Structure formats: C-alpha cells, structure tokens
Structure 1
Amino acid sequence: MNFIDEALLEARAGSGGAGCTSFRREKFIPRGGPDGGDGGKGGDVIFRVDPNLNTLVNFRNQKYLIAKNGQSGSGNKRTGQDADDLIVMVPKGTVIFDSISNKIIYDCCEEKIDYLVAKGGEGGAGNFRFKSSTNQAPRRHTSGWPGDEFSIRLELRSLADVGLVGFPNAGKSTFLNSVSAARPKIGDYPFTTLRPNLGTVQIYDTSFIIADIPGLIEGASEGAGLGLNFLKHISRTGHLLILLDPQNLERSIEDQLNVLLNELKTYDSSLLEKSIWLSVNKKDTLDEKRQKELIELIKKKMLSLNLDYEGIIAISGFTGDDTETLLGMIANKMLESKD
C-alpha cells in the first residue's frame, strides 16, 4: 500500500561555519593585520508544496532531514560559502506539527510559498572582526552557530469540497465512480477504500471535488477501524454528504445516522456546523413508498437533534438515479457561498 499519510521526522538545519584566525603575510608586509574571514551560513530546512504528489510515501524510510553546514572562513577575509538549503517537497494539504507540543507549525496549502521549518545557523566571526585600537592582532574567532533542530510530524489531510460520510459498504466508492472520473476500488466487503480518493465533479457551470474516504464505524473517534484516518481527512472538507445504506442488515437507517453523527460530534463538534446533505443510497432496491418513509424518518431524526441540513434525497450510485439532482443541490449551495 503506497498511500502514506503520516510521517515522524527529525529536521536539522545546518550549523554555521567557523570563523578563521589568520594574519596577512606578504612580501614587504611583515606585520600584516588580521584577515581571518567569517564562516558561511548553515542550510535551512524548507518545505514546499508539489501539486503532483498525493502521498507521504517518500518519507517511509527517511527519518532525518539534515541540511549541510556552512563552510569555515579563510585568510584574506574570505567568507566561507553558505550551505545550500534542503528543499523538501510535500503534497498539498500537508500539516506540519511539532511532535513534542503537538502544535501546528504550518498548514501547507500554497504552492508558491517556502515553509521554513528549521533555520540554519549563522557563521562565526573571523579574527579581523575583533581588531580594535587596543588589540591590533587579535587571535580570536568564533565558531558558527548551531542550526535549529526539531522533531516534527507530517500529516496529510485531503483537500476536497465535499466529504462522503458513511459506513463501510454504504456505496460511497460506487457513487464517486458514477459522478466523476475517479475510479476508486469497489468491493462487496468492508474497508474496500483504504485511502482517500478524490473525484472532480462538473455540473452546470461549476465544478467541485468530492473525497471518498474510508468508511466510518462506531468508535471511530477513539481510533476504531480506520476512524481517525477518516476523520482527519474529513475535517478539512467544506461540506458533508452522508450516505445511508438501506441494505445494511446489521444497522437500520436511524441507527446508522445516530452513530455517524455521534462520531463526527465526538471528534470535532464543528463538523456538524458544515453544510450537510443526507442521502438514502441504493434507491434502485426500494419501492417509492419505502423511499418516502425513510426520508421522513431522517427528517424527524435531524429535527429531534436540532441539526440543520441542506437537503435529503434518495439516490442510486449504481444506476445514477437522482445523482444529478443531488449534485445540483450541492453546486447551488457552493455558488451561494462564493457570492
């Protein structure tokens, strides 16, 4: 499995080069003054966004990011060469944490920005810097300053407009396959989707990205199943589409909705403040009466929980029934948000 969305690393910037103690020694100038040059600056550790990357797999076997040290100064007041910066490319949506405090250092979402994680040390001073009226021949120089060193954690969070929420086998991958050019793996068993799949939907005069993310189960907010993997990706999406499965033999529609909403709330209550659409999937397996019953049941449940929603509709990701209607609702809401 080449999709990696977390990595623990040590970022170490380069140290500055040492200054030099040297004296000018030339023919006919027997008592030349101090001419030791300064050391060069150590390399920075800089992160940049590469839009062509979608995984942190490059860090699977890499635990250290070490920039080079600056060169030492030399005679004739020659400054040591600055070290090259270490440029680290990451996917868009990578969040950099201080692994000790767990505080966010950067959220890497812009492609043309340098995210400075560890700054290289400045070079030391050569002895010519210490010449004074009372000390004409200083023999003192300083070492370069050490570079910054941090333990960091990278976490990749999908950037999508709409996140699909549902139990395993709710039909999320089938739905995404139907409405976009994405081709996620589809199977008749839990956790077919083991990594986020992004699909671009074009409808009317607008387009948006839908993320099909590993299915949510009870206890996900505490790490059950692939829950935490799911929730960290869904937290970045602007809107939520909850797919409910009427063919789930273990959980009723109401039970599914209870668990999904509770897990979202437990992980981050602000998730329920997003624009939410609810959809009964697999309508091709239901008669019209049953579809209406389920929709009314969902309405009552959302009302009892005092939760707002944008719309409720029955669809079929397999046949495509009413998927365009659902996408149109989402597109209209997104256009309203931009105005």
Structure 2
Amino acid sequence: MRELFLDRVKIYVKGGRGGNGAVAFLREKYRPKGGPAGGDGGKGGDVVLVATSSKHTLLDFKYKRHFKAENGEHGKGKNQKGKDGKDLVVYVPVGTVVRDDQTGELLCDLTQEGQRCVVARGGKGGRGNAQFATPTNQAPRHAEPGEEGEERWIVLELKLIADIGIVGLPNAGKSTLLSKLTKARPKIADYPFTTTKPNLGVMELDEERRLVLADIPGLIEDAHKGAGLGHEFLRHIERTRLLLHLIDVSDNRETDPLKAFELVNRELELYSPELAKKPQIVVASKIDALSDRSVLEKLKEAFEDRGYTFHAISSATSEGIEELKELLWSKYMEVEHAPAGKV
C-alpha cells in the first residue's frame, strides 16, 4: 500500500553533449579559393522539470531513474550549423522540491502549475573552422569539440500543498474527520496507522470559500528519529498555514489528552522548530464516546490558557462539524493576514 505513494526519489540527469564543429572548405567550380566553411556544432538539450497538477506522486521514478537529453548535431560543410539537441521535459507533481544530491543545494521549489526548472544544461556546440579564419590564417584546419552536458544526481522531494494540516496521535480520528470535512475517502479503521500515506481533501463551504486539508499519518513518541510513520510524512505539512491538532477525549482513550497534545508538539519541535511555530487549533474528537462532558470544559480552559482555540466534535454523529468548518475558515483567514503565531 505504501509504495503507491512515493514522495522522495533520487534520479540521475544529464544534459546532451554539444555537437563538434566541422572542418571543411568550399569546393565549388567557380570559387577555387572559397576558404574555410566548417559549421558550428549544435547545443545539447537541457533536462527540464515541469510541475503539473495531473501527477500526485513520484511513483513514475521508481523504475526509471536515468534521464539524458538529446545530443547536439555536429557541424557540416558550407557553414551549416548542426541542429540543437531537443530538451528532455520531465513532468513532476506540483509541490516538488529539487536538491543537488551531493551538495544539498536547493535547485528549485516547483509550487505552481507549469513552473519549469532546468536541472542539467546541455553542452555548448563547438565552433567550426570558419570561425577561426584570420587575415594571417586564412585556411584553419582545426575546429572545437562540443562540450559535455551537465550531469548530476538530484533528489526530488514531494511536499503536498495544503492550507491546513491535520495532526495527532494514531487513532485520534484524523482520517474520519477528513472524510467529514471534505469529499476525501481515506482508509478508515479502528487501529493505529490506518493512514500509511498523506490524504488530501477539499473543504467547500460555498462557491467562494474552499480550503485544502491534508491528513498526516499519526505521530508517536520518537517520530523525529524515524519511529512510526509520522516522521516520513511531516514534510507534507511544512507548507500549510494552519494546523488542526486532533486529540482523542473518549472514555477508552489510551493517552491523556494534554499529554497527547504535548507529545505531538514535542515531535514537531524536534523535527522542525519552524513547523512547531505554526498556528494551531485544538479539536477534541470522539465526544460521542465521552460519558462526562465536564471534561471538555476543563480542557477548553486549559488550552485557552495556553493561547489555543479549542473546539469539540464527534465525527460519528457529526456534532460540531459544521461549526468546525466555519471556525477553520475564520482562523485560516486570520493567519493569512497576520504574522505566524498561535491562533
């Protein structure tokens, strides 16, 4: 199941080699001293990445990892320049970050449809002997070879572009909530790690108000060290503007709600301090399975004292869902027009 969503790959790219310049002389009946006429070689093609919304994973690169653009043609006689090599266009999902594998240098961040990035330039074509003619050397017998194209290994890393990221411990109810807020249909079951890949959904309040939500696999303690599944997908909420932090408050919960909140935030901080600074809304889930509703008032007070907005819902009965949609929209708009910080 997990291999169907590939979000990090390493590929080899190489620009085309430039064509060699030609060594040639005019041999025409009425021009016995026609002089040098070797044409230049054509430029090698570039390897170009282009962002497209028609792709949602890097799965295409699982089996094909070498990409080489076309070589330029060699120059010809009669001052004929060789054809330039064709660029090799490689389509990647919108949201792909490209880095040099050896240096870690950020080459480009493809966040918009149709955005292009040249990752390996083709080599220049060599000059033909016609370019070397001078008054003192009217018959040069040498030309330049074409240059090799750039080559490198690059890392493609997909970061989903969502407005709001849903985080929380495994089995907090993130996938179910996503299905309630949007038309997404993630895998849902009553056991941890149901979600083995990020899920996206679009929450539409009306024709003009819509937000993209991302459900990230549950975080567990030491996720920043690679434990569990969450660390593998945390990059997908780095672009979000607002986090919906879901905590289980049902009677059969395994972790105290405040402890669960602190655990997830600690893992966010250890993975990326910038990620931990994102504004959050705390949402208590599974209140239909909570026998003592006074717990909610205590939690509301505790979280509001810390500066967080608190809301309670039940995905099973839809209690609080419509209010949550409006809350998410209003808080998102606040974040859009205010410096980053707690909501």
| TM-score using structure 1 length | 0.94
State the shift of 1:338 in Å: 4.7
Counterparts in 2 of 1:253 and 1:319: CA distance versus 1, 3 Å: same
Which of 218, 239, 258 is the equivalent residue of 1:215?
218
Query: How many aligned positions are there?
Result: 332
1:322 alignment counterpart: 320
2:299 alignment counterpart: 294
**CA contact under 8 A between 1:13 and 1:121: conserved in structure 2?**
yes
2:201 alignment counterpart: 199
Give the distance between the partners of 1:177 and 1:258, measured in 2 at CA. 26
Deviations 1:200-246 (A, max 9, x none): 11125511011011111111111111132221111111100000012
In structure 1, stretches of 5+ residues that fail to align are: none
Deviations 1:57-103 (A, max 9, x none): 00000121111110000000000000110001000100001111222
Deviations 1:95-129 (A, max 9, x none): 00111122211110122332111111110000000
Which one-letter code corresponds to 1:88 in the other structure?
V
2:28 alignment counterpart: 26
1:267 alignment counterpart: 271
Name the SS of the counterpart of 2:135 in structure 1. Answer: coil
Give the distance between the partners of 1:48 and 1:40, measured in 2 at CA. 24
Which one-letter code corresponds to 1:181 in the other structure?
K
Which of 284, 289, 313 is the equivalent residue of 1:285?
289
Which one-letter code corresponds to 2:41 in the other structure?
G
Name the SS of the counterpart of 1:163 in structure 2. Answer: strand
**CA contact under 8 A between 2:126 and 2:143: conserved in structure 1?**
yes
Which one-letter code corresponds to 1:206 in the other structure?
R
Structure 1 segment 1-339 matched on structure 2, within 5 A: 1=1, 2-203=4-205, 205-247=208-250, 249-286=253-290, 287-299=292-304, 303=306, 308-309=307-308, 311-338=309-336
| TM-score using structure 2 length | 0.93
Deviations 1:5-47 (A, max 9, x none): 0110111111110000001112233332110000000000111
Q: Which moved more, 1:106-115 or 1:87-96?
A: 106-115
**CA contact under 8 A between 2:8 and 2:155: conserved in structure 1?**
yes
State the shift of 1:291 in Å: 2.2
State the shift of 1:259 in Å: 0.8
Name the SS of the counterpart of 1:175 in structure 2. Answer: helix
